[in-house]
Structure 1
Amino acid sequence: MLVFIYYWRPSSHKSLTVHAWLDNSFFPFHNSRLLSLMRLLNTKTLKLAEFYADIPLYAILSHTWEKEEVTFQDIQNLETARLKAGFAKVSNACARARNYDFEWIWIDSCCINKESSAELSEAINSMYQYYEDAAVCYVYLCDVSIEFHPRNPKSMFKDSRWFKRGWTLQELLAPDYVIFLDKDWVRIGTRWTLRDVVSVITSIPVEVFKGRDINRYSVAQRMSWAASRETTRAEDQAYSLMGMFGVNMPPIYGEGGAKAFMRLQQEIIKISDDRSIFAWVAASSEHDENRGLLAKSPYEFRMSGEVKASESDCIGDRSSYSFGNNGLRIHLPLESTGDDDVFLASLLYQLVFRPTLQPALKNIQELTVRENPVARMSRFDNRPRYGSAGTVYHVDLLPSARHFLFTNTIPFHVVYPPNPNRVLVQLGPWSSCDYSKLTYKTQVTKEAFTIHLWHTGSPYYALHLGDQPIEKPSFLTDPSPDDGTVMRSDSGAISVHCEVTGRLGDQRLEIDFIDQDSLEIDFWTQTLQPPRSGFIVPSKVDSEGLNGQLIGVYPSDFYTKTFQDMAYIPMSPPDDGDTVPPFRILTYRIPGRFSSHVAIGLLGPSSGTPWTEVVVGPGTAEQVYQSYINRSRAGKEWLKEETSIWSDSFYGDGLVASVQERSSLQLGTHLLRLEWTYPD
């Protein structure tokens, strides 16, 4: 039992002294991390080991739970564990880690004893750190195949269940290195090489995957990243976000999702005065409810991805706010609306507030004492990431690239192992050299590429075509966390991937080649650029028993996002050379009637001028879309904004479509409104 004793000296200005009794011993209590239990699975023996300190390098697995996962109790008896369907996942994860010299791996399904409520609580509060401390995180996507590159719209990568789960958000953000693996455990790519795709799928700014600290984003922005994610237990929507905000609280299953999320926000408020935590929009079903300033779920932050942190310094001490037993206490500037009971309050403006004090209370003052936030410390922060002997590069030619031959230009740095497709390069203190280069050429075309290797305390590498030296190491001008590079060549594309290993100071570089004739080569070498304009459209149209439901958007693309009560359809304004301005066809199913198609699009340069039209009757969305294309090819002037068929409002079969420019907290630049009308 831990007992705290506080000594209060009213007449003294000395610091408050805190002591503690622990197991009958008396000692000053310091702000240090208490040792906690961590179990790791041995990748060779599949036996669990317990660690309290000196935790070894380990890999970690991120996955979505399926039927018959191997539990902590199962793994105690391997014969029992092998009978479960989930054993294949454990076995393959261990094999993958073992192949890259990791002796230990952490897997949530079998490394936590979930029958112990105390251990489960500790694990939930430590989960972010488990992933942050891991040398590498393997993301296993059981519903994705490497058949198509993730940038290919045909790929299932963007639709993977992993991107829709609540717990996997922190598993994406916390580790230094993240590798995506398909259903057959084949590498798809890394968080770095697929940063544009992952950003589009998750709505997390691509700068986060370039190494920008997530704490530089507002509370509302970080909440928005979780808006469309789901958890099996409602309370886990809150518990899965604790690590991202650097707070802790005991999980109480049974309290309900709204109450758990309320507690989470209260814990965040204790360490942050960022008022963006109040920048949320209620779901459409709750617009008429009387609400306080706190949201009920991450979903209510779905439109807050562009909300910046509040400028708390501009209002000084009045920026702080807190909870009392009668609610939230906060300073807000109020503006009258003309209604005696309704005021507008700004979250970011200063309010000059002077309470009227009774004579007997003149000596009472309101004080604000700020504490410096306690930074999360990794258990590996003080441990060298690279060996004192320097860096050993293991450079492997994968089968697709073995028509290239290695040319050794600096022989005394290179060691030739028995494997003819591998080269070892020692850089650093023992080799007395911090630079080397490896050149590969084909015998027939003489096409060449060069890998430049450095060691200046930590390893770096760069890839360029040809065999000439480069003037300056890339890390001196672009210190990005590059763990993979793809470059287009005359005959295809060269891919170099850096695989993290379990040996301190070792780096594994794997060279792949994508042939020019491959249908996927363009997807390997392009970068996705999400549009800045877009439409918020309703997912339902309800009026007097007629319930319309959005059932499709044509043509579909990476950028469309569907929520519970709306969809977001990003759309770029037309370029000068566009024959047909960009547009989409929305299909709403109306019970007892033909489906209604609603066309939305942008005309003109800059941000674009919106238009909309309702098309009622039979026909697929593709047929409606093609009819507009044909209308353009026929030379009709339907593209002009002033033509009568294109307007901000069009009536058809009782359905009214109108477009409004963004005027409040929402995604994109325009809002589509749909309403039923009835003839007089």
Structure 2
Amino acid sequence: MSYPHFRIGLLCLMRLLNTETLKLQEFYADIPRYTILSHTWEKEEVTFQDIQNLETARLKAGFAKVWNACVRARNYDFEWIWIDSCCINKESSAELSEAINSMYQYYEDAVVCCVYLCDVSIEFHPRNPKSSFKDSRWFKRGWTLQELLAPRNVVFLDKDWVRIGTRWTLRDVVSAITSVPVEVFEGRDINTYSVAQRMSWAASRETTRAEDQAYSLMGIFGVSMPPIYGEGGAKAFMRLQQEIIKISDDRSIFAWVAASMSGEVKASDSDCIGDRSSYSFGNNGLRIHLPLETTGDSSRGNDVFLASLLCQSERDGSFLSFYLQKTSRQQYVRCRPDQLAFRPTLKPALKNIQQLTVREVPIARRSRFDAEVHSFDPVMFHVDLLPSARHFLCTDTLSSPVVHSPNPSRVSVQLEPWLSLYKLTYKTPVAGEAFTIRLLYPWLGDSPYYTLHLGDQPFKVPPFSFIDSSRDDGTVVRSSSGAISIHCEVTGRLDRCLEIDFIDQDSLEIDFLTQTLRPSRSGFIVPSKIQLYAGTIQLIGVYPPDLYVKTWQDIAYIPMSHAFPLRILTYGTVSSVPAFHVPVGLQGTSSRAGTPWTNIVVDKESAEQVYESYVNGTTVNKRRMMQTSAWLSDRDYQESLTASVQERSSLQLGTHLLRLE
């Protein structure tokens, strides 16, 4: 049987590495099915020049990564792999430019993307707060955002190349870590999200070159521009915005300054201003119609106005406006770029829509693969029992065209291209515990169609109906003795490889494997650093721990939920005992509608002890106040600290703000 190649229309050149010979080959038109590696660069990566001579390449530390990636690819029948370190000739500026503009498509066109996390161990499940998964450097790099979003299939591997899970099975965890909505990993088109929301996904990520902060986002916004290293990050980002504006009339792009806090900004609704919704860049700035209103605050000056973006917050429906300072008759410049105003209605602003020009403050120079199956060839499913599940035996040999291989842990089923259902039943010889896998021909794409059920009961399909099957690459069900997990490994051929794992009931990780994380709409922005007389005190702990906790340079986000309406923040220095605890919480019947409160605890108790004292009400630490003060004492100094909480007044994660002064 021959397997189709897939044409990538926009690529001029793609260079792939043969997984057997480790030789590079160039492709210009018919690109074969390939896997792609996503990783963070380490010392002595193998370059394009190195891979020309394998003896030279083997001397570099990075060769082990290339070799192991090829080994894994070969294990799943991939002849070709793309690895950025050695498949791009970075000494050619033209090729580098082409690769940067094509990078998103490289990952989008791959059959599967293997994410190698060199700093992660599979010891704990990623939902376990003890896991190093959430702390991986891969989640903090700029280029890896598009490598997370673009591919159809993503599998995460730990430092020993052991499978951790997939983007689908870990979608709630990955969403918690990255702030990318879980719906994106369930198939929602990223183009349905506002420009501001997509900008927010990249806000906390870092790149080695400042310009790459902008270049790494080109594919996410569907734009191209030549990279100019040396122009600086600010100019590169301005060019990116200008390219986005050429293809989008979404005014939320002007709310991006709120960076990581702009994830709640919906796309603008320009219908309310009719044919005046278009805008463009001229040589004197941005030409645009904007609804203007006075600020109502004389301290800001008579020349400062509020301009509505016509964007609403997903959280409370309020409309966003930004500040403009008038410099001449129709000329304005943006001021207070880190502030936005919230308005309950647009009506006052819509009474005064003006055509104006907004100038940017000058920047100072500083020293394709869709993988759809179009043929109607039979598809082979190979089902493997991993070592943990080999106490199960396949007992169903009549209702399905099952092929037993010499390997007792593998059976294969050939699916024909008509609406037929096949099933495999597995049982334990002694206890009789059973589960059934039902398979369906993959009509709509390269994703596996299967369901996993406990037991061995007959299963009937209504005539001429499609099964509401799982189009994912991972399913887990609890049984009386543990949990049965099934996932699909994508292969270089059109076969499917299903792998079955069993997690014993006594495993400490079973609950993390089978639970689902859910984000909270409420929470606190708190300082992550405090400057005291004795020096800088840092936020060194949050109890109970939560994967949705996020820390930036000077602030942190602390989520609140109905299950955990209380968190204990521990401040101190990494090398010494904690200086104090700051409980924060929301008191009321609902975490979203609760009243915020805080306190300062200077007793030498652990965060867990303080938490229990509030939950059980066993100590005087149950004070719940909007503002409180305490004395911090040491042998050499004494200092007063005040904690206060208030509702948010600018774009931010969560609903409240904690101040420590």
Q: Normalised by the shorter chain, which TM-score bucket?
A: 0.7 to 0.9
Kept after mapping to 2: 8 A contact 1:573/1:602? no
Aligned match of 1:344: 306
CA pair 443-178 structure 1, distance change in 2 beyond 3 A: same
CA pair 330-436 structure 1, distance change in 2 beyond 3 A: same
Aligned match of 1:648: 626
Query: Of 571, 588, 600, which aligns to 1:604?
Result: 588
Output the CA distance in 1 between the equivalents of 2:151 and 2:219. Answer: 12
1:531 positional shift = 2.3
Tell whether 2:614 aligns with 1:614.
no
Aligned match of 1:435: 421
Q: SS at 1:231's partner residue?
A: coil
CA pair 39-593 structure 1, distance change in 2 beyond 3 A: closer
Tell whether 2:492 aligns with 1:468.
no
Tell whether 2:522 aligns with 1:533.
yes
Kept after mapping to 2: 8 A contact 1:553/1:587? no
Q: SS at 1:313's partner residue?
A: helix
Aligned match of 2:157: 181
Deviations 1:383-416 (CA, angstroms, capped at 9, x unpaired): 7536531211111111111111101243561222
Deviations 1:354-392 (CA, angstroms, capped at 9, x unpaired): 779xxxxxxxxxxxxxxxxxxxxx3x45x7536531211
Kept after mapping to 1: 8 A contact 2:292/2:354? no
Q: SS at 2:658's partner residue?
A: strand
Aligned match of 2:569: 585
Tell whether 2:299 aligns with 1:308.
no
Query: Of 439, 456, 459, which aligns to 1:453?
Result: 439
Kept after mapping to 2: 8 A contact 1:398/1:511? yes
Kept after mapping to 2: 8 A contact 1:410/1:437? no
CA pair 523-353 structure 1, distance change in 2 beyond 3 A: closer
CA pair 532-152 structure 1, distance change in 2 beyond 3 A: same
Output the CA distance in 2 between the equivalents of 1:550 and 1:631. Answer: 20
Aligned match of 2:404: 416
1:109-128 residue pairs with structure 2 within 5 A? Answer: 109-128=85-104
1:80-159 residue pairs with structure 2 within 5 A? Answer: 80-159=56-135
1:524 positional shift = 1.1
Code of the aligned partner of 2:101: N
Code of the aligned partner of 1:391: V
Aligned match of 1:552: 541
Aligned match of 1:228: 204
Output the CA distance in 1 between the equivalents of 2:355 and 2:239. Answer: 30
Aligned match of 1:565: 554
CA pair 547-411 structure 1, distance change in 2 beyond 3 A: closer
Code of the aligned partner of 2:606: Q
Query: Of 23, 27, 32, which aligns to 1:47?
Result: 23
Deviations 1:192-235 (CA, angstroms, capped at 9, x unpaired): 01111111111111111111111111111111111111111111
Moved more, 415-424 or 447-456: 415-424
1:589 positional shift = 5.4
Moved more, 450-459 or 140-149: 450-459
CA pair 503-335 structure 1, distance change in 2 beyond 3 A: same
Percent identity between matched residues is 73
CA pair 309-433 structure 1, distance change in 2 beyond 3 A: closer
CA pair 330-518 structure 1, distance change in 2 beyond 3 A: same
CA pair 481-384 structure 1, distance change in 2 beyond 3 A: closer
Q: SS at 1:227's partner residue?
A: coil
Kept after mapping to 2: 8 A contact 1:315/1:351? no
Output the CA distance in 2 between the equivalents of 1:151 and 1:81. Answer: 37
CA RMSD of the aligned region, Å?
2.7
Output the CA distance in 2 between the equivalents of 1:243 and 1:42. Answer: 26
Kept after mapping to 2: 8 A contact 1:612/1:650? yes
Aligned match of 1:664: 650
1:267 positional shift = 0.8
Code of the aligned partner of 2:570: L
Q: SS at 1:279's partner residue?
A: helix
1:634 positional shift = 6.0
Which 5+ residue runs of structure 1 have no aligned equivalent?
Answer: 1-31, 281-294, 357-377, 576-580, 640-644, 676-680
1:321-340 residue pairs with structure 2 within 5 A? Answer: 321-337=279-295, 338=298, 339-340=301-302
Output the CA distance in 2 between the equivalents of 1:628 and 1:103. Answer: 55
Deviations 1:519-541 (CA, angstroms, capped at 9, x unpaired): 11111111112222100012234
Q: SS at 1:410's partner residue?
A: coil
Aligned match of 1:362: none
Output the CA distance in 1 between the equivalents of 2:461 and 2:619. Answer: 56
Output the CA distance in 2 between the equivalents of 1:353 and 1:604. Answer: 42
Moved more, 534-543 or 587-596: 587-596
Output the CA distance in 1 between the equivalents of 2:355 and 2:162. Answer: 66
Aligned match of 2:276: 318
Which 5+ residue runs of structure 2 have no aligned equivalent?
Answer: 1-7, 311-345, 357-367, 632-639
Code of the aligned partner of 2:43: K
CA pair 343-427 structure 1, distance change in 2 beyond 3 A: same
Code of the aligned partner of 1:396: D
Output the CA distance in 1 between the equivalents of 2:129 and 2:456. Answer: 36
1:99 positional shift = 0.7
Aligned match of 2:385: 397
Aligned match of 2:339: none
Kept after mapping to 2: 8 A contact 1:573/1:603? no
Deviations 1:311-346 (CA, angstroms, capped at 9, x unpaired): 122222222222111111111111113432111111
Aligned match of 1:407: 395
1:456 positional shift = 5.4
Output the CA distance in 2 between the equivalents of 1:101 and 1:177. Answer: 16
Code of the aligned partner of 2:628: F
Code of the aligned partner of 1:397: L
CA pair 94-658 structure 1, distance change in 2 beyond 3 A: same
1:652 positional shift = 2.4
Moved more, 255-264 or 167-176: 255-264
Output the CA distance in 2 between the equivalents of 1:631 and 1:77. Answer: 65
CA pair 481-48 structure 1, distance change in 2 beyond 3 A: same
CA pair 668-235 structure 1, distance change in 2 beyond 3 A: same
Output the CA distance in 2 between the equivalents of 1:306 and 1:655. Answer: 33
TM-score, normalised with respect to structure 1: 0.81
Code of the aligned partner of 1:320: S
Tell whether 2:169 aligns with 1:193.
yes
TM-score, normalised with respect to structure 2: 0.84
Kept after mapping to 1: 8 A contact 2:289/2:354? no
Output the CA distance in 1 between the equivalents of 2:263 and 2:224. Answer: 24
- The structure whose Rg is larger is 1
Moved more, 453-462 or 42-51: 453-462
